Amino acid sequence: MTFFKKPKKLVQTKNAPENQDSSHETNSQDSSQQTHSQESQPGGVQNLSLNEILTKVKEPFSATEDLLTHEIELPSDKSRIALLYIESIVDKQLVQSMILNPLFVTDKEINFNSFKQMASIDLKKHTEMKQVQELLLQSNTLIFTDDTTCFYAMSTPVKTQRDITEPDNETIIRGAHEGFIENLSMNLALVRKRLKTPRLTVKYLQVGKETHTTIALLYVDNIANPEHVKEVEKRIKSIEADAVYTPGNIEESIEDKPFSFFPQMLSTERPDRVAANLMEGRVALVYDTSPTAHVMPVNFFSFYQSVDDYNKRWHIGSFFRFVRIMGFFIAMGLPAVYIAIVSFHFEVIPFGLILLIKSSLEDIPYPPLFEALLMELTIELIREASIRLPTRIGSTIAIVGGLVIGDAVVKAGLVSNLMIIVVAITAIAAYIVPSNEMSAAVRILRFPFMVAAATLGFLGIVFGFLILIFHLCKLYTFGSPYFAPIAPLNLADLKDAFIRAPFWKQNTRPKDVTAQKVDNANHTRKWDKS
Amino acid sequence: MNSHTITHRQLFFLIVQTQIGVGVLSLPFSLFTKAKIDGWISLIIAGLFIQFSILAIWKLCDRFPHNTIYEILPKLMGKNLGLVFNFIYTLHFAFISILILIMYNSIVGKWILFETPHWVIIFIMTAVGYYFITSSPREIARFFVIVTPLLIVLFVFILYAYTDVHLLYIFPVGQTGMLTIIKSSSDAVVALLGFDASLVFLAYSNGTPAKNIKVISFASFCITVLYAFIVFTTYIFFNPAEIIIVPEPVLYMLKAFSFSIIERTDLVFLSIWIISVATSFISYLFIAAKGVQTLFGLNDHQKGAPYVAIFCAVIAIIPNEKLEVLMWNKYISLTSLIFSALFPIVLLLIAVLRKKQEKGAASS
Between A273 and A489, the higher pLDDT residue: A273
pLDDT at A119: 64
Look at residue A37 and tell me whether its pLDDT is greater than 50.
Answer: no
Does residue B106 lie in a domain region?
yes
Q: What is the mean predicted confidence (pLDDT) over B331-340?
A: 87
In a domain, B70, yes or no: yes
Helices B23-35 and B178-191: crossing angle, nearest 10°?
160
- Amino acid residing at A178: E
Q: What is the pLDDT of residue A105?
A: 62
Report the gap between the CA of A440 and the closest CA in chain B (Å). Answer: 24
What is the nearest CA distance from B300 to chain A, expressed in angstroms?
A: 17
Mean pLDDT in residue range B4-32: 87
Residue B281: inside a domain, yes or no? yes
Most B-contacting residue of A257, A259, A299, A462 (CB-CB within 10 A), to test interface: A462
Chain B positions in Cβ-Cβ contact with residue A466 (cut-off 8 Å): 128, 275, 278
Choosing among A357, A459, A482, which should be mutated to test the B contact, i.e. which has the most B CBs within 10 A?
A459
DSSP 8-state symbol, B205 = B
CA dihedral B305, B306, B307, B312 (to 10 degrees): 90
Confidence (pLDDT) at B182: 84
Q: What is the pLDDT of residue B2?
A: 46
Contact B79, B220 (CB under 8 A): no
Interchain contact, B113 vs A470, CB within 8 Å: no
- Contact present, A124 and A87 (Cβ < 8 Å): no
DSSP secondary structure string for all residues of B154-179: HHHHHHGGGGG--GGGGPSTTTT-HH
Residue predicted with more confidence, B206 or A50: B206
Look at residue B79 and tell me whether its pLDDT is greater than 80.
yes
Q: Do A350 and B132 touch (CB under 8 A)?
A: no
Neighboring chain A residues of B262 at a CB cutoff of 8 Å:
348, 350
Q: What integer is the mean pLDDT of A383-406?
A: 80
Question: Which of B9, B267, B286 to mutate to test binding with chain A, by most A CBs within 10 Å of its CB?
Answer: B267
Its domain, for residue B252, covers 2-353
* Among B19, B60, B278, B7, CA closest to A487: B7
With bands split at pLDDT 50, 70 and 90, how would you rate the model's confidence at A2?
A: very low
Is the pLDDT reported for residue A271 higher than 60? yes
CATH number of the domain within which B63 lies = 1.20.1740.10
For the ranges A91-95, B53-57, B181-185, the one whose mean pLDDT is highest: B53-57
Q: Whole-number mean pLDDT of chain B?
A: 87
Residue A200: which pLDDT band, with cuts at 50, 70 and 90?
very high
- ipTM for the complex shown: 0.91
Residue A171: per-residue pLDDT:
85
- The answer to whether residue B360 is domain-embedded is no
B360: closest CA among B255, B209, B233, B246? B209
Neighbours of A147 (CB within 10 A): 14
SS3 A420: helix
pLDDT in tens, B98-128: 999 999 998 898 888 888 888 999 999 999 9
pTM: 0.86
Q: Are B308 and B289 in contact (CB under 8 A)?
A: yes
User: Could you give the percent of chain A with pLDDT greater than 90?
Assistant: 28
**Single-letter amino acid code for the residue at A138:** Q
Cα–Cα distance between B206 and B202 in angstroms, integer?
Answer: 9
Q: What is the pLDDT of residues A72-117, one digit of tens each?
A: 877 666 777 888 888 888 888 888 887 777 776 655 556 666 666 6
Per-residue confidence at A47, pLDDT binned at 50, 70, 90?
low
Which of A459, A460, A487 lies closest to B146 in CB terms? A487
Of A466-470, B149-153, B300-304, which range is least confident?
A: B300-304
**Does residue A19 or residue A435 have the better pLDDT?**
A435
Domain count, chain B: 1
C-alpha B238/C-alpha B243 separation (Å) is 6
pLDDT value of residue A41: 41
Residue A389: predicted pLDDT: 82
Burial B316-350 (b: 16+ CB within 10 A, else e): bbebeeeeebeebbeebbebbbebbbbbbbebbee
pLDDT at residue A13 is higher than 80? no
* B180 contact A CB<8A: no
Task: Pick the closest to residue B132 from B5, B352, B286 (CA basis).
Answer: B286
